[in-house]
Copies of this chain bind each other. A is one copy, B any other.
Amino acid sequence: MKARVHVTLKNGVLDPQGKAIEHALTALGFEGVNDVRQGKFIELDLAETDKDAARAAVEKMCKSLLANTVIENYSIDID
């Protein structure tokens, strides 16, 4: 079973990476780039075959390792 996790910075938290990318894109001549935010995308391959159990496990993984919940949000897709 595959799980896909998106980890993104919470609203209002400074995103230096995103800001630098935005600058770079503009410097490269791309116009109309209003905002860029960078997050992480983590793909997990799990032995678990039950969807709900997998989600519950990944939820726990996010809380304990994958996301820094002080500044980051996460979302989970299971398929």
Interface residues of A (CB under 8 A from B): 6-8, 18, 21, 24-25, 28, 30-48, 57, 60-61, 64-66
Judging by beta carbons under 8 Å apart, are B39 and A45 in contact? Answer: no
With A30-B61, A57-B30 given, is the CB distance from A41 to B43 under 8 Å? no
Copies, count: 2
**Chain B contacts for A32, CB-based, 8 A:** 46-48
Judging by beta carbons under 8 Å apart, are B34 and A46 in contact? Answer: yes
Judging by beta carbons under 8 Å apart, are B39 and A40 in contact? Answer: yes
- State the 10 A-B residue pairs at the shortest beta-carbon distance, nearest first: A32-B47, A35-B45, A41-B41, A39-B41, A34-B45, A37-B43, A38-B42, A36-B44, A6-B41, A32-B46
